[in-house]
Structure 1
Amino acid sequence: MYKIDESKDREKYILLIPAMLDYHFPLMKYAFYSKNYHPVIIDLEDNVENIGLKYVNNDMCYPAIMNVGQIIAALQSGKYDLKRTRVLMATAGDACRGSNYIGTLKRGLKKAGFEDVPVLNINVQGIAKEETMKVDIGMAIRALVSVYYGDILMILYNNVLPNAKNAGEARVKYDYWMDILATDLKEGRHLSVRWMKKRFKQISDDFATIEQNPDKKQIVGIAGEIYMKYCHLGNWDLEKYLQDNNCQAHTNGVTWYMLYYMDTHLLNKKSIITPFCRIAQRILANIQKKMIDEIRRNGFFTLDDFMTLKEKVRPYISMNYAMGDGWLVGMECAGYLLSDCRKVMSVQSFCCMVMQTCGKGMYSVIERRLSGKGHIANADIDTSGSRMNYYNRVHLLIHQN
């Protein structure tokens, strides 16, 4: 696999990517390096919401407003040569506002005076084919590997951070492994399944050396729509708020979403590629199971692998609704309660119709069917929403018996 030479990046186009997966994008960005592009994950936060509202209708969902706001803020910053800048937007392309992100972004860019900046997209639904970024095998491998590595680092970091005796040690370990894995991805080496399993063991063993306080804190699971769950901008720093309030936050990994998406969107279609998708799913599920085995071997908390969890929660949720995050949200909520994690906070955008119908329709049913196992709270996040009310909702969950 080709090496990434960052010294030649001055000759390339800048590829601006709005934030979404806090733990994964620092590694995943290496999948988008090519002979033509140098990817940049936008880290601007100040006034992003207001900029988004200026160029996007406030009836759009919160992730769309924040993504467009970040992109326009980056273009307005003066840091980039607009003639050598491109924008990349990923979308699931489902029957929700996510399928309109590209058009929404283009209208926002035009209104802001950046209509000449090209917009590329990545999706598997065939939306805007002429503007879809071509993905080669090297990009696909780097992206897949980075998703697994992002998962294990996120899960282990959140396991050890709240109980570590030495403040800052968890972050040192996290940064150390980020550097090593980034080097692997840049150089295109150690990306085989055998090496991934070896890395899982090394990472888990290294985090296990962090000395922990004996008094364990209560675990609060975070579930919900993908952007709101994984991006601190989307969930208003929910993870940090839980940690500051004497809790251990746990966010389930992106590989569960990946396998859910394959299960509901690719394997249910009659196509010539369906048999190959089934084989790919089995391989990816096997890698995930190995990752979980290594996490649990050292006593760390995580949910079951996707295949096991799906069968375990089948009596408690309906799996008929597969739009957007669909029954994945219910699966994770039920999975937490069945794993003795007694409290789950589910977050969604106020304007997300999929989450309003599917997610909210499941919570009370799951609590009734798993009576006595714990509590599921949910909160809508919107530009007009009150942060005080939001944190009060979380606070009530933390102190609920």
Structure 2
Amino acid sequence: MEMNKDNTLFTKRMKKTHTIYMPDMLHYHNELLSAAFSLGGYKLDVVPEYEHFPAEMLSLINPSYCTCAMDIIGNLMAHLKNPDIDINKVAILEPQAGGACRAGNYYDLIIQCVKKSGYRIPVLSLNFSGAESHSGFKITPMMLFGAVAGVCYADLLMALFQQIRPYEKEKGATKRVYDKWIKALSEDVSARRNLFFREKKYQEIIDDFLEIPRFSREEKTLKRVGICGEIYIKCSPIGNRHLEDFLYENNMESRMEGFLNYCTYVVYTEMKSAELKGASKAMLKAYAFAMNYLIGAQTQVRKALLQNGFLADGLFEDMRKKATPILSEYYNIGDGWLVMAEAMDMIEQGYDKILIVHPFGCLVSHVAERGVLKKLRQLYPGANINTIEYDYEQSKALRESRIMLATS
């Protein structure tokens, strides 16, 4: 029998009673990933965005932490104070990719913040190294297959949404189709439907989006802006202060590349580290299998988009070949060489204005992003490439004026 006097251990019984809350890090993917977790019997939900954080939060977090920590933990602490939340039936999930980023400390930081605030809540770590394990929380193979399917669907929907919405003739039409498919696909994943052999489903989704009346690029000329950078600031509207909506409202077409390449990049990074440490052949084969599975999944999404006239992300190996003449593949701290590869890929697809976004005080981002600006500008003299830094205390007017200048 499990002893859990202080309620900080996530037990098997809690699967039926507790809601696990995770940060809003992958806005296009959240609902589908929640559906994948349901395959393991877990109820996963996303911490919403709060306008104000608890006043005591600033005394709990060292100011040397980056914007991402302030956003993630600030919204989490505000959510725990929400009177609609049953604090006795809550757990927290923090994804951990590892590496040299300070995000590797978020897990322990969240535990300390929760404890100092007087809560006794289980804090789970989503990682694949076996660290910080809880007896009632296990990632099953079916959850992994569901998560890959969810990421594939979400990458497809994101690509369609971002390339159609700026040109729609009826405002809101793209969002309605997007919401319809997010709901339907989440139900499919939860019910173990269409997890494999998804090509037919991809075409069904694309056909529905193609029914949306829209202007051609010749009829409606918009600035084309590519967004890349640190994963949280890039993918979370909380982190980037709703950058995508801001660009849309200012008559720009914006696009960011999907999550599949990032997943492959993380696996590849771990594989290269294992090689350097003399890992066994069996372990290296496992990494290679995971990489090939992800690359095969991305190839199907890419094929479906290209066959229907949409732009698609470059394949992982092509992205790596773009970047490695400038940055070594061993520069894999944080988002590493992938940020530069995404910038290059989008420029070559016609996005001549690039915003490389990152949090204030992030040394990893400064080296990988600002450090390659000169070389990128030499390679693509016709493109306007700039970094946009996000500071927790930065004024909205200053940030938006920098974005407008960078896209001029």
Query: TM-score of the superposition, structure 1-length normalised?
Result: 0.91
1:41 aligns with 2:46: yes
Alignment match, 2:75: 70
Equivalent in the alignment of 1:361? 371
Range with bigger deviation, 301-310 or 253-262: 301-310
Contact in 2 for aligned 1:313/1:335 (Cα 8 Å): no
Q: Distance in 2 between matches of 1:126 and 1:82?
A: 27
* Matching residue of 1:207: 209
Map of 1:6 onto structure 2:
none
Paired residue type of 1:53: L
Q: What is the CA distance between 1:338 and its match in structure 2?
A: 2.2
Deviation at 1:39, TM superposition (A): 1.5
Q: Measure the CA separation in 1 of the matches of 2:89 and 2:363.
A: 37
The match for 1:383 is: 392
2:57 aligned with 1:57, yes or no? no
Distance in 1 (CA, whole Å) between partners of 2:56 and 2:146 is 33
In structure 1, the gaps of 5 or more residues are 1-8
Q: 1:157 to 1:88 in 2, by over 3 A?
A: same
1:180 matches 2:207: no
Higher mean Cα deviation, 20-29 or 128-137? 128-137
1:393 to 391, 397, 402: 402
Against the structure 1 CA distance between its residues 35 and 206, is the aligned structure 2 distance closer, same or farther, given a 3 Å change threshold?
Answer: closer
Task: Report the equivalent of 1:290.
Answer: 300
Equivalent residue in structure 2 for 1:373, among 382, 398, 405: 382
Q: CA–CA distance in 2 between the matches of 1:132 and 1:246?
A: 48
Identity of aligned residues (%): 28
TM-score when normalising by structure 2: 0.89
Tell me the CA shift for residue 145 of structure 1: 0.9
Tell me the matched-pair count.
387
Change (3 A) 1:96 1:35: closer
Deviation at 1:21, TM superposition (A): 0.6
Residue among 299, 304, 316 paired with 1:306:
316
Determine if the alignment matches structure 1 residue 113 to structure 2 residue 118.
yes
Which of 337, 353, 369 is the equivalent residue of 2:347? 337
Q: Distance in 1 between matches of 2:371 and 2:346?
A: 18
How far residue 317 of structure 1 moved from its aligned partner, in angstroms, is: 4.0
State the SS of the aligned residue for 1:172. helix
What's the CA shift for 1:58?
Answer: 1.8
1:135 match: secondary structure: coil
In structure 2, the residue corresponding to 1:260 is in which secondary structure?
A: helix
Q: Pick the aligned partner of 2:23 from 18, 22, 29.
A: 18
The secondary structure found in structure 2 opposite 1:166 is coil
State the shift of 1:31 in Å. 2.1
SS in 1 for 2:166: coil
The equivalent of 2:252 in structure 1 is 247
Structure-2 separation of matches of 1:318 and 1:311 = 10
Q: Deviations over 1:326-356 (max 9, x none)?
A: 1111111122222221111011111222101
Shift of 1:247: 0.8
Greater Cα offset, 198-207 or 138-147: 198-207
TM-superposed deviation, 1:166: 1.5
Q: Does 1:348 align with 2:353?
A: no
SS at match of 1:95: coil
Q: 2:225 aligns with which of 220, 227, 233?
A: 220
Cα distance in 2 for partners of 1:280, 1:37 equals 24
Work out whether residues 122 and 133 of structure 1, in 8 Å CA contact, stay in contact via their aligned partners in 2.
no
Shift of 1:119: 0.5
Query: Is the Cα–Cα contact under 8 Å of residues 49 and 65 in structure 1 kept in the other structure?
Result: no
1:135 equivalent to 2:144? Answer: no
Cα deviation per residue 1:71-108 (whole Å; 9 max; x = unaligned)? 21111112232222211111111112011011110111
Counterpart of 2:98? 93
Q: Over the residues paired in the alignment, what is the CA RMSD in angstroms? A: 2.1
CA contact (8 A) 2:20 2:90 kept: yes
Q: CA deviation at 1:52?
A: 4.5
**Residue in structure 2 matched with residue 5 of structure 1 by the alignment:** none
The Cα of 1:131 is off from its aligned counterpart by 7.8
Work out whether residues 25 and 41 of structure 1, in 8 Å CA contact, stay in contact via their aligned partners in 2.
Answer: yes
| Matches of 2:55 and 2:26, distance apart in 1 | 21
Q: Is the 8 A contact 1:152 1:291 kept in 2?
A: yes
